[in-house]
Amino acid sequence: MRMPYHKELPQFPESFWTASQQERPLFPKLEQDAEADVVVVGGGISGITTAYLLSREGLRVTLLEAGVVLNGTTAHTTAKITAQHDLIFDELIRTEGKEKAALYYQASKDAMAFIEETIENYQIECGYSKQDAYVYTHHVDYIVKVEKEAKAYEALGIPGAYLDRMPLSLPMFGAVRMDGQAQFHPLQYLWKLAREFVKNGGQIYEHTTAVDVEFVDTPKVMTLGGHRVNAKYVVSCTHFPFYDGEGFYFARMHADRSYVLGLQTHDEYPGGMYLSAEDPKRSIRCAPIDDHHKLLLVGGQSHKTGQGICTINHYEELRKFAENQFNLEKIIYRWSAQDLVTGDKLPFIGRIKKTHPNVFIASGYRKWGMTNGTAAALMIRDLILERENPYAELFSPSRSLSWKTVGKLLADNADVAKHLISGKLEFIKKRPEQLDKDEGSVVDLHGRRAGAYRDKDGQLFLLDTTCTHMGCEVEWNNGDRTWDCPCHGSRFSYTGEVMEGPASKPLVRL
């Protein structure tokens, strides 16, 4: 018999990781010019891990974060430490060859080993636990794909198996299991690395937006506040690289947004991490709240940022799924995350261009940032220290792409052009005075397109909806109360501040 549960979604989005992280050190804003051996830009798992590794090698490292560290995608992940990145290995064998597919798996395996070793060395209490990972299908058309993935595991020597049932009772026709993966609380783990980085002499500056790199003898990172940080090496660990270096990365990746609910149930969780093979995706894992309670994390509903149905409906769809599959008690958290996807599904890690050998990027993790972000840090450390790294060619941002991949990129950019034009031609009827409290919308303001949000106290915020990156028109995200760009994934708060790039300047207030 199912017990009743509180059906209301939380009014505001908040991730379990940030809500449950008690300790959060504060860091100053950069107020003057500075020097370092390495400047790392971006305070997520890639940036923190890279800065920690390089400081451990005796280098002077400065980390710059536009907002506050560990508050972006890393704080909104499902935090699976796994090499099971959806149904990827059969595809990689077909498109890249068996050798490169094996390298991709080994890079994730090395990252997993580093995380586990670091947790053991520092005795970090972060809810780390070994879990098997499953990709399952409940659609008959996907059975063959799942079977092929299991054969790819066998060909690559990946421990796992094809199954016709799983520990978690879900409607399914088949699944592929990858043995011995893991999960953790990402912020509890990374705050320890951040503290060790500072102990090693590292400098962290928050509310410091890097906007460009100037080359005079050595690279100089320019900030929005007008200050410079002179260094020998620059590492961009932001989503879209804050400095493009004429690599046109905004045209070589697209931004996806996905959603998570944090739920309590009346049933025992059998263990394991789960992902549906087909769309809409369903990601499931469990996280300890305390010694006696667990939180069920149900994620999915991926779509291109700024596009698709009303965003609150994505949370509603996840709720319907959870209601049908689990004996729910209450919904405690809801949040969303943004990830970048490359044309060939491999991340961009390494030198931004051959002509800029001292500038590195790490991006395009396709929702698998815990392992890909750690692998990026390990690889960039080796490149800066001029050590051999077996994955440098595989992940090189300058790698050649297949015609099929080029075709995908052309389709993505045609989609960008469509949204750029349609946003300019949109006919708008709604006016600012028609907005209720806690409502946002594109409105007509004296004959021009504007963005409006009226907060719960009745205060009205009016913005120019033209994205400050490349001029696309942003759309209202009512699920997260943000303005999202459908072209390249920039996101702004309802007051106009940049929340995620590639934009570096706020929306203009009206």
Helix (H) or strand (E) holding 445: strand 439-445
Residue 453 has pLDDT above 60, yes or no: yes
Q: Can you give the pLDDT at residue 489?
A: 77
Helix (H) or strand (E) holding 115: helix 98-122
- How many Å apart are CA 317 and CA 53, to the nearest integer? 41
pLDDT of residue 25: 86
Residue among 131, 91, 118 at smallest CA distance from 193: 118
Tell me the range of 4-18, 25-39, 341-355, 390-404 where mean pLDDT is highest: 25-39
Q: Give residue 407's pLDDT.
A: 55
Q: What is the pLDDT of residue 432?
A: 78
Instruction: Quote the pLDDT of residue 419.
Output: 47
Residues 322 and 197 sit within 8 Å (Cβ to Cβ): no
Mean pLDDT, the chain, whole residue set: 90
Number of Cβ atoms within 10 Å of the Cβ of 390: 12
Sequential DSSP letters for 71-109 = -SGGGGS--EE-S--SS-HHHHHHHT-HHHHHHHHHHHH
Q: Is the dihedral of CA 495, 501, 504, 507 positive or negative?
A: negative
Q: What is the mean pLDDT of residues 32-40?
A: 97
List Cβ neighbours of 209 (8 Å cut-off, separation of 6 or more). Answer: 64, 66, 223, 224, 225, 242, 498, 504
pLDDT band at residue 414, thresholds of 50, 70 and 90? low
- The pLDDT, as a whole number, for residue 423 is 47
pLDDT digit string, tens, across residues 185-226: 999 999 999 999 999 999 999 999 999 999 988 899 999 999
Alpha-carbon span 9 to 293, nearest angstrom: 20
Separation of alpha carbons 381 and 57, rounded Å: 9
Which helix (H) or strand (E) segment holds residue 416: the answer is helix 403-425
Asked if residue 20 lies in contact with residue 295, where contact means CB atoms within 8 angstroms, the answer is no
488 pLDDT more than 90: no
pLDDT digits (tens, 9 = 90+) for 137-182: 999 999 999 999 999 999 999 999 999 999 999 999 999 999 999 9
Give dist(CA 45, CA 362) in Å, integer.
11
Residue 503's pLDDT band (boundaries 50, 70, 90)?
Answer: confident
The pLDDT of residue 290:
85
With a cut of 60, say whether residue 417 has pLDDT above it. Answer: no
Q: What percentage of the chain has pLDDT greater than the value 90?
A: 65
Q: Give residue 426's pLDDT.
A: 58
pLDDT, position 416: 46
Residue 420, pLDDT > 50, answer no
What are φ and ψ of residue 154, in 5° steps? -65, -45
Q: Which residue has the tokens 């729910």?
A: 328
Enclosing H/E stretch for 264: strand 253-265
Residues comprising the chain, all counted: 510
Confidence of residue 500 (pLDDT cuts 50, 70, 90): confident
Confidence of residue 5 (pLDDT cuts 50, 70, 90): low
> Which residues is 210 bridged to in the sheet?
223
Residue type, 285: R
pLDDT in tens, 80-107: 999 999 999 999 999 999 999 999 999 9
CA distance 50 to 364: 16
Any idea which residue has 């100037």 for tokens? 214
Please report which confidence band the pLDDT of residue 403 belongs to, taking 50, 70 and 90 as the band edges: very low
Q: Which range, of 386-390, 440-444, 460-464, averages the lowest pLDDT?
A: 440-444
Q: Which residue has the tokens 């890079």?
A: 107
Tracing tokens 């972060």 back to the chain, one arrives at 126
pLDDT at 351 over 90: yes
Whose tokens are 């059969």? That residue is 90
Q: How confident is the model at residue 1 (pLDDT cuts 50, 70, 90)?
A: very low
- Residue 68 or residue 250, greater confidence: 68
Instruction: Tell me what the mean pLDDT of segment 438-466 comes to.
Output: 88
SS percent in the chain: helix, strand, coil, step 5: 30, 30, 40
Across residues 370-384, what is the average pLDDT?
A: 98
